[in-house]
A = this chain, B = another copy of it.
Amino acid sequence: MSGIEIVTSSGQMQEIADRLRREGKTISFVPTLGYLHEGHLSLMREARRHADILVVSIFLNPTQFGPEEDLEAYPKNLKRDIHLAEKEGVDVIFAPAESDMYPNGFQTYVTLENLPRHLCGRSRPIHFRGVATIVSKLFNIVKPHTAVFGRKDYQQLAVIRQMVRDLNFDIHIIGGPTVREVDGLAMSSRNTYLTANQRRDACRLYQALQKAQKTAAAGETDAVRIIDEAAELIGSLPDADIDYIKICDPETLEDVQIIKEPVLMALAVKIGQTRLIDNELLTP
């Protein structure tokens, strides 16, 4: 394909995918909420390596936001997104209208029983239902061979992997590494909400994770001690409100008390009104 193609109709996207597949081409896919940053671009580069054609979706999915959350405030700039995607050699942008994705009478959801009970799912009860539903829809529209999701949204990646396995989506899921600012803050479209002071403090989240990695590597096996240390570091920030800091099984996301093998340390912290998440694997 030459030049970037902007597709807004799901039917047209399916026709393009069918044609590409008939031609023997492989499709890789990066779904996004838009307002692209370096984290998304790195996922695109990863996706690029796995297939002939790279499709990126830009859709601010309302069903994954709770009623009290930041759907309305979420930053948008489709023109800028298209420009950035074009520079990365994206072949197709799929940017549907909300009314096309959720027409009147919409009532079907993809739900997981266990993974959403943990971490972010506790304070965002409908979030992963919304994620699993929109990703199922996008998979059926884009028909990719491979899809790439960021490891920064670790629980989302776990949910998608489980859903793909359970519903037999014939799609290879790849987790892309977290891209960080110079001071370690994980890139996120939500970072734009931060004031200058909050932005300066926000790097402490990653510092806490790094410190935990060191403590675990030095032989500490008590998860509570490591969590307390992180809570102290983050809790001392003036605007920080800790949603959770957890050490858990990287597959089931269930709490781990004694660290015997690699575990996931994940946290969600509100800095002012901005909810930030981050995670790292700790290896004993």
Q: Which residues of A contact B (CB under 8 A)?
A: 10, 14, 18, 21-22, 24, 103, 105-115, 132-133, 136-137, 140-141, 143, 162-163, 165-170
Contact = CB atoms under 8 A, between A and B. Distances in A.
Contact of A22 (B24, B109, B111, B170): B24
Nearest to A109: B111
A98 to B, nearest CB: 14
Contacts of A10: 168
A108 B18 CA distance: 27
A61 to B, nearest CB: 13
A14 B21 CA distance: 14
Copies of this chain in the oligomer: 2
The 6 tightest CB contacts between A and B, nearest first, are A108-B166, A107-B113, A140-B168, A14-B170, A137-B168, A107-B114
Nearest to A138: B168
Contacts of A165: 103
Contacts of A108: 110-113, 132, 162-163, 166-167
A173 to B, nearest CB: 14
B14 A107 contact: no
Contacts of A111: 108-111
A170 B112 CA distance: 23
Contacts of A103: 165
Contact of A166 (B14, B106, B115, B170): B106
Given A21-B21, A137-B168, A168-B137, A110 B110 contact: yes
A27 to B, nearest CB: 13
A133 to B, nearest CB: 8
Nearest to A113: B107
Given A14-B168, A109-B110, A140-B169, 12 more contacts: A14-B170, A107-B113, A107-B114, A108-B112, A108-B132, A108-B167, A109-B111, A110-B167, A133-B167, A137-B166, A137-B167, A140-B170
A111 B284 CA distance: 41
Contacts of A110: 108-111, 167
Contacts of A22: 21-22, 24
A167 B115 CA distance: 21
Contacts of A113: 107-109
Nearest to A108: B166
